[in-house]
Amino acid sequence: MSSRPVGRPKNPPNFKELLYKIIPSSSLFTEEELLIFNGLLELYLKDFDESQLSANDLDDIMTIATNKVLEIRILISMKNNPDMQLDASAAIERLRKQTDKLKENLATRRKDRVDPKKYSGLSIVDLAVAFDHNKRDIALHKSEQFNKEDDDLRKSDLLIGNRLDQDAEVFNVEEE
């Protein structure tokens, strides 16, 4: 029997370091393309919890970033060569289809990792009720403030009207 634990290691390797050390990206891309590639890798890796990433995820993320750089390379090369547009558009279409498939795979694996029991106690109804309670509490607070202001105004000298004005006339109105 082996004493090695089964499953993923408790401290998985840092994927960013792994990508930069193992993948010869500086040999594959120009300096400008390398900036784009590294930026895309950073962006895509931020979408994932690195402790949850698998080797397949890493490969898919790297391929998606590579496809985007290659797509940009093709677009730049066909900019000055209109004869290449038909071939370039076919190549770009293949790259985009492959990228879409890779993104679907990443999304599927991410969904598979979510523990359904973790979120089973919360539903949209719970969120709606919480929102309604919050809205009701805000309305009650405003109502209390308005009532307090109303009481303060009634007690103040501001609501005496104009009956004490010097130029106020008193009219005798006979009732019919």
The answer on 144 and 78 residing in a single domain is no
118 inside domain: no
Give the other-Cβ count within 10 Å of 60's Cβ: 21
Q: Is the dihedral of CA 21, 25, 28, 29 positive or negative?
A: negative
The answer on 78 and 23 residing in a single domain is yes
167 inside domain: no
171 inside domain: no
User: Where is the domain boundary, 113, 134, 163?
Assistant: 113
The answer on 93 and 28 residing in a single domain is yes
The answer on 130 and 76 residing in a single domain is no
The answer on 129 and 72 residing in a single domain is no
In angstroms, rounded to a whole number, what is the distance separating the alpha carbons of residues 89 and 172?
94
132 inside domain: yes
90 inside domain: yes
131 inside domain: yes
The answer on 27 and 108 residing in a single domain is yes
For 139, left (φ over 0), alpha (ψ -120 to 50), or beta?
alpha
108 inside domain: yes
The answer on 147 and 89 residing in a single domain is no
52 inside domain: yes
In angstroms, rounded to a whole number, what is the distance separating the alpha carbons of residues 70 and 29?
9
The answer on 25 and 96 residing in a single domain is yes
Length of the chain: 176
The answer on 138 and 62 residing in a single domain is no
Rounded to two decimals, what is the model's pTM?
0.56
Structural domain range at position 143 = 124-155
pLDDT in tens, the chain (176 residues): 556 666 655 666 666 677 777 777 778 888 999 899 889 888 888 887 777 777 788 888 889 999 999 999 988 888 878 788 888 888 899 999 999 999 998 888 877 776 666 656 667 777 787 888 888 889 889 999 999 988 887 787 766 666 667 776 666 666 55
